[in-house]
Amino acid sequence: MNYGVAAFPSKKLQDLANSYRKRYDPHYELITPHMTLKGPFEADASTIKDVAAEMQNIAKRQKPFKLHATRVSTFSPVTNTLYFKVEPNAEIAALHEDLHSDFFGGMPKHSFVPHITIGQKLSDTEHADVFAQLKMAGIDHEEVIDRMHLLYQLEDGSWTVYETFRLTGDDQ
């Protein structure tokens, strides 16, 4: 089964992201707006219990973090994906690093760009038009995230929460 780890922003930011996602993101109905902390990975029923236990340890080590969405950006020319850029900070980097320790199989092949996707799989023309509009509209949203969520993927491709972990930073 596929699992992943994400942080969900406030309803206010989710509503803003969804106002674009319903038009520009074919995954709109599969998952709510989120910041991916660990991309999809496979685990079986026994392994996922160990993963959840390790995530509980990570949640005790890591503090809540500031999520500051500062602008609309794109992964073009690699992919025609549009997103709210989340400013990197030490807490987000430490959490990402902990979720990519040797226990989890190490660091991913792509560098980590904190973001919330608002559009993907757009044609080149649509991507250019939408990006130009959204870049001008801009965004400046700040909040504190105090939870991370272990998700699993259902047969229809949608994602649902398996377990939620409160970031406390108690065991530093």
Residues recognised as catalytic: 34, 115
Per the structure block, which two tokens stand in for 6? 């994400």
What count of residues does the chain have? 172
Cα 156 from Cα 158, distance rounded (Å): 6
Residue pair 120/27 in contact (Cβ under 8 Å)? The answer is yes
* Paired strand residues for 96: none
Query: Would you give the DSSP letter of residue 29?
Result: T
Per DSSP bridges, beta strands 141-145 and 159-166 are: unpaired
